[in-house]
Amino acid sequence: MICIECGKEFLEDWRKDREIRKTECRFCSVACGRKWTAKNKKYGGQPNHPSYLPKDDNVYNCQYCGKEWVGNFSLKLHERQCNKNPNRKVANGRENGEFKVSDETKKKLSEARKKTVEKEKSKGTKYSCPFCNQDFTTKSGLGLHIKYCKENPNAIKRIGHKTSDETKRKLSEFQKKKYAENIGWNNVLGRLKESYAEQYFNNIFSKIENKPQHNLHIDRYWLDYAWENKKVYFEVDGEQHYTEEGIKHDAEREQLLESIGWHCIKRLRWSEYCSWSQIKKEEYISNLLEEINHI
């Protein structure tokens, strides 16, 4: 490419653009009339080049969001994709302002990932954690483990959602009001679908004669499976019951229930139960049903 004004020759477009950026000009969206010529006919003779104007240091405000921008070009570029612009132009590959990956691309990425993992596994190489010495077959698996490894002093701590005191107070007042109206917590939240653990034990207890009441409300607590005439109950606990706060709460709960004559015959940790063998599960259920029959 040859500049008509200065006569300087450039072998490639990007070299020409780089040279122009060194001057006191900037890119704009309005044609300024300057032209470039090409030795090679495939460039189409003398096409209009991207226009350049003197540097603009004025401050402009976006007509949609009011944000300030230095230079008219920066402003126009922002306004085309401003979130508050009703006619905004979204970049390719994006939908509603968010990047969207096509199903075909997802499939290709998934296949490439599987091939990489299989290739690493086929080598038979083991990658050990420098903190706990646990072995992994892939580097990616090791990397993910190290991020959260309990022995790693710089590990990322997994902190769950924390409810503010104000939200807890509002929930408490709302629940007390519903208790007075004799509406259960599950009905308050509109929770119609039972958890897998509930479905599992509902199916088991539906086959025995001495059937328990599910989610029985006693005082300010709910009992998973209770026999009201005998004042005994069976609990299936999730992992939230084994946190520091959960253990403290359950101790207070059990103490209050015992003070009014209720006794817990068994408490089962669901995640632990799921890790048992089928034989151990059947043995546990058999002992539980036998104990229930003797209530």
9: left (phi over 0), alpha (psi -120 to 50) or beta: beta
Instruction: Report helix, strand or coil for 267.
Output: strand
In the block, tokens 């290709």 appear at 108
* Residue 201: per-residue pLDDT: 92
Q: Is the pLDDT assigned to residue 27 strictly greater than 70?
A: no
Task: Enter the pTM of the model.
Answer: 0.40
Q: Is the pLDDT assigned to residue 37 strictly greater than 80?
A: no
Write down the H helix ranges in the chain: 13-21, 72-81, 103-123, 139-148, 165-180, 185-189, 196-205, 244-259, 270-274, 278-293
pLDDT digits (tens, 9 = 90+) for 11-23: 666 676 666 655 5
Give 42 or 77, the one with higher predicted confidence.
77
Q: Is the pLDDT assigned to residue 165 strictly greater than 50?
A: yes
Please give the C-alpha separations between residue 220 and each of 125, 175, 246, 252, 256, in angstroms, as whole numbers.
56, 10, 16, 12, 10
Domains and CATH numbers, the chain: 2-91 (no CATH), 124-155 (3.30.160), 194-293 (3.40.960)
Q: Across all residues in the chain, what is the average pLDDT?
A: 76
pLDDT digits (tens, 9 = 90+) for 109-144: 888 888 888 887 788 888 889 999 888 888 888 888
pLDDT digits (tens, 9 = 90+) for 214-267: 888 888 888 999 999 889 999 999 888 888 888 998 999 999 999 999 999 999
CA 95 distance to own-chain centroid: 19
Burial 111-125 (b: 16+ CB within 10 A, else e): eeeeeeeeebeeeee
Give 155 or 178, the one with higher predicted confidence.
155
Q: Quick one: which of 188, 224, 222 has its CA closest to 205?
A: 224
Given pLDDT bands bounded at 50, 70 and 90, which one contains residue 184?
low
